[in-house]
Amino acid sequence: MKTKSFLKSIMAAATALFININPLSAMIEDEDIAIIGSGSGAFSAAIRLANKGAKVTMIEEKTVGGTCVNVGCVPSKILIRSGQIAHLQEKHPFKGIQKSKPEIDGTLILEQLQERVLGLRQAKYEDILLQNPNIRFIQGRARLTGPTRVSIKTSEETTLELNPTKILIATGSSPTIPDIMGLQETPYWTSTEALFSGIVPKHLIVLGGSVVAVELAQAFLHLGSKVTMLARSTLLSKEDPDIGNGLKEIFEGEGIRVLTHTLPQSITYNGAFNVDLGEETLLGDHLLVATGRHANSRNLGLEEIGLTLDPEGRILVDDHLRTNLPNIFAVGDCTQLPQYVYVAAAAGNKAATNMLSEYTGEETSLDLSIVPAVIFSDPQVATVGLSAKQAQELGYEAETRTLTLDNVPRALANFDTRGFIKLVADKKTKRILGSQIVASEAGDVIQTAALAIRGKMTTHELASQLFPYLTMVEGLKLCAQTFFTDVKKLSCCAHME
Ligand SMILES: Cc1cc2nc3c(=O)[nH]c(=O)nc-3n(C[C@H](O)[C@H](O)[C@H](O)COP(=O)(O)OP(=O)(O)OC[C@H]3O[C@@H](n4cnc5c(N)ncnc54)[C@H](O)[C@@H]3O)c2cc1C
């Protein structure tokens, strides 16, 4: 902040003490803080800053709300849910209910999906802008031209210059397209086209084996597509191997062809996709490329101003969300932090506090020691804390137990016993270190494991809690019991201390 305006701020703060207005609002000048991007990380920061009285300028190149609401979490979960309903109509496990082949109208599914996306975008993003006079929104592409200088190319092709005292970069990520011969010349889909085409392919070939690939491959299978997955390594290769192996078996059981350790040699398109695997060529009417996402850090002028990126182009931030440059903060998918919307939002909130610390004296850090994560396949995959391998690498003598779902009453009542619940504990202290789950409702079950880890609970302590019968989360208690007893020999709801 320039000396003159700093003195002005001091005066304003002193005056504010006497006339009882928010001293911070008097100190922060117009355009004091610039936020690049308008996704969850950006909004979380902007709301906190605005509530504290700061003046914020938010710059967005494309659609307000960013990835999650527009082209990510929300539309993908709607498509996945519609697929689940269709799948159950044809393949549910209850003998007394007639099964029938669902009639799918891709256009109507898309219409409903778009309606919900628009509604959520309005309520959670656009209305927030309207309600917050302290947040000014500019449509345009931002670029940093100095450590406290932002140049914005607006949609009208004019250039605006801002001179903020603090900058938050929250520019998100984009799909990574692998370097495969011919691929660039084909009309392949990324997740965005897959979600918004309104088409249910006859044969969808999915390139990739991580979260987005897994979720969308199964959603399209459930909607009636034939699906082939090509994974360079295994499915969900960054997770405990039991997860990828378990999910592959489930997917193959449903009819997805899963080719692991497979990379196409070339891809061409002549009205259909020809995917050359060497020993065979796959033919498909649509190709989804879901091989990960990279940080949007290019063409932002970051290298030119000396901002440190990691070798993958992610902005490096510390646990206070500070970059190596004093007035520049970054959050969300454009950083090295995990690519989840709730991590982006939590980081945005923390960054906002730290951006104001010189006025408030308040500093805070983002604790990522316990990050529950969910993959919305069916059954769901959920993880938290350490896998057995990670625990061993950190020097723990790790003990694990895996409970298959045929031991969980809820799964038996559902007539769906696919999956497992795994707990990792420290053999010496018996403290729970991690959990990996493949089960229907795993996304809800995992939060209990997260809280058990946060509370430093032992397997005995978790096993001795009351868990409501018949819930899926009861499986977590049963799994904890297997550290010291054989659950097969217990009667229904048996309680162990
Ligand atoms: C298909 C899919 C499904 C997903 N499902 C889930 C899920 O179920 N749960 C979950 O937790 N996460 C999910 N995610 C991940 C989640 O969407 C992201 O982690 C999250 O949205 C990242 O938020 P962000 O604020 O970092 O960036 P974004 O929301 O991506 O926002 C960044 C914004 O910055 C803008 N921008 C970029 N460069 C500039 C520039 N130079 N000038 C101006 N504006 C710029 C972009 O246009 C964009 O709008 C999913 C992602 C995808 C793709």
pLDDT for 48-90, tens place per residue? 999 999 999 999 999 999 999 999 999 999 999 999 999 999 9
> Cα(210)–Cα(263) distance, rounded to whole angstroms?
14
Q: In this structure, which residue's CA is closest to atom 3 in ligand 1?
A: 72
pLDDT for 433-443, tens place per residue? 999 999 999 99
pLDDT of residue 490: 67
pLDDT of residue 9: 40
Residue of 67, 117, 121, 376 to mutate, ligand 1, most atoms within 8 A of C-beta: 67
CB 294 within 8 A of CB 312: yes
Ligand 1 lined by 341 (C-beta under 6 Å): yes
> Cα(299)–Cα(204) distance, rounded to whole angstroms?
33
By DSSP bridging, strand 166-169 and strand 173-175 are unpaired
Ligand 1 lined by 41 (C-beta under 6 Å): yes
pLDDT surpassing 80 at residue 24: no
Cα angle, residue 338 at apex, residues 298 and 396 outer, rounded to 5° = 135
Ligand 1 lined by 377 (C-beta under 6 Å): no
CB 201 within 8 A of CB 222: no
Helix (H, G, I), strand (E, B) or coil at 22: coil
β-bridge mates for residue 329, sequence order: 168, 322
Please tell me the distance between residue 295's alpha carbon and the centre of ligand 1 in angstroms: 10
Ligand 1 lined by 294 (C-beta under 6 Å): no
Please tell me the distance between residue 251's alpha carbon and the centre of ligand 1 in angstroms: 28
Q: What are the DSSP calls for 228-264, one per residue?
A: EEE-SSSTTTTS-HHHHHHHHHHHHHHT-EEE-S---
pLDDT of residue 280: 96
The CATH number of the structural domain formed by 373-489 is 3.30.390.30
Ligand 1 lined by 296 (C-beta under 6 Å): yes
Per-residue confidence band for 497, with pLDDT thresholds at 50, 70 and 90: low
Which structure tokens are listed for 302? 């970051």
Q: How many CB atoms lie within 10 A of CB 179?
A: 7
Q: How many CB atoms lie within 10 A of CB 146?
A: 13
Per-residue confidence band for 496, with pLDDT thresholds at 50, 70 and 90: low
Please tell me the distance between residue 341's alpha carbon and the centre of ligand 1 in angstroms: 7
pLDDT for 204-219, tens place per residue? 999 999 999 999 999 9
pLDDT surpassing 60 at residue 427: yes
pLDDT for 458-472, tens place per residue? 999 999 999 999 999
pLDDT of residue 155: 76
pLDDT for 303-332, tens place per residue? 999 999 999 999 999 999 999 999 999 999
Residue 473 phi/psi, 5-degree rounding, is -65, -20
Which structure tokens are listed for 328? 């520049």
Mean pLDDT, the chain, rounded, equals 92
Please tell me the distance between residue 335's alpha carbon and the centre of ligand 1 in angstroms: 12
Ligand 1 lined by 37 (C-beta under 6 Å): yes
Residue type at 161?
E
pLDDT surpassing 80 at residue 6: no
pLDDT surpassing 80 at residue 2: no
The CATH H-level (homologous superfamily) assignment of domain 3-68+112-175+294-360 is FAD/NAD(P)-binding domain (3.50.50.60)
pLDDT for 358-387, tens place per residue? 999 999 999 999 999 999 999 999 999 999
Please tell me the distance between residue 173's alpha carbon and the centre of ligand 1 in angstroms: 6
Query: What is the widest separation between alpha-carbon atoms in the chain?
Result: 81
Which structure tokens are listed for 341? 């919307």
Ligand 1 lined by 474 (C-beta under 6 Å): no
Please tell me the distance between residue 66's alpha carbon and the centre of ligand 1 in angstroms: 5
Label residues 284-312 b or e (16+ Cβ within 10 Å = b): bebbbbbbbbbbbbeebbbeeeebebeee
Please report, for the chain, the start and end positions of each structural domain, with discontinuous segments joined by +: 3-68+112-175+294-360, 183-291, 373-489
> Cα(292)–Cα(209) distance, rounded to whole angstroms?
9
Closest Cα to residue 410, out of 379, 452, 450, 387?
Answer: 379
Indicate the burial class of 331 (C-beta count within 10 angstroms; 0-12, 13-18, 19 or more).
buried
Ligand 1 lined by 193 (C-beta under 6 Å): no
Indicate the burial class of 145 (C-beta count within 10 angstroms; 0-12, 13-18, 19 or more).
middle
- Ligand 1 atom closest to Cα of 332? 26
Q: In this structure, which residue's CA is closest to atom 26 in ligand 1?
A: 332
CB 38 within 8 A of CB 16: no
Ligand 1 lined by 38 (C-beta under 6 Å): yes
Ligand 1 lined by 172 (C-beta under 6 Å): yes
> Cα(43)–Cα(56) distance, rounded to whole angstroms?
11
pLDDT for 151-171, tens place per residue? 999 977 899 999 999 999 999
Compute the average pLDDT of residues 166-183: 98
> Cα(426)–Cα(395) distance, rounded to whole angstroms?
10
> Cα(21)–Cα(463) distance, rounded to whole angstroms?
53
Please tell me the distance between residue 373's alpha carbon and the centre of ligand 1 in angstroms: 16
β-bridge mates for residue 380, sequence order: 439
The verdict on whether omega for the bond into residue 379 sits within 30 degrees of 0, i.e. cis, is yes
β-bridge mates for residue 384, sequence order: 435
Do 3-68+112-175+294-360 and 183-291 come out as alike in CATH topology?
A: yes
pLDDT of residue 494: 60
The CATH H-level (homologous superfamily) assignment of domain 183-291 is FAD/NAD(P)-binding domain (3.50.50.60)
Ligand 1 lined by 333 (C-beta under 6 Å): yes
Residue 488 phi/psi, 5-degree rounding, is -65, -25
pLDDT of residue 5: 41
> Cα(317)–Cα(168) distance, rounded to whole angstroms?
11
Compute the average pLDDT of residues 114-136: 96
Compute the average pLDDT of residues 403-418: 97
User: What percent of the chain has a predicted confidence (pLDDT) above 90?
Assistant: 90
Residue type at 127?
D
pLDDT surpassing 60 at residue 3: no
Residue 14 phi/psi, 5-degree rounding, is -65, -45
> Cα(15)–Cα(34) distance, rounded to whole angstroms?
26
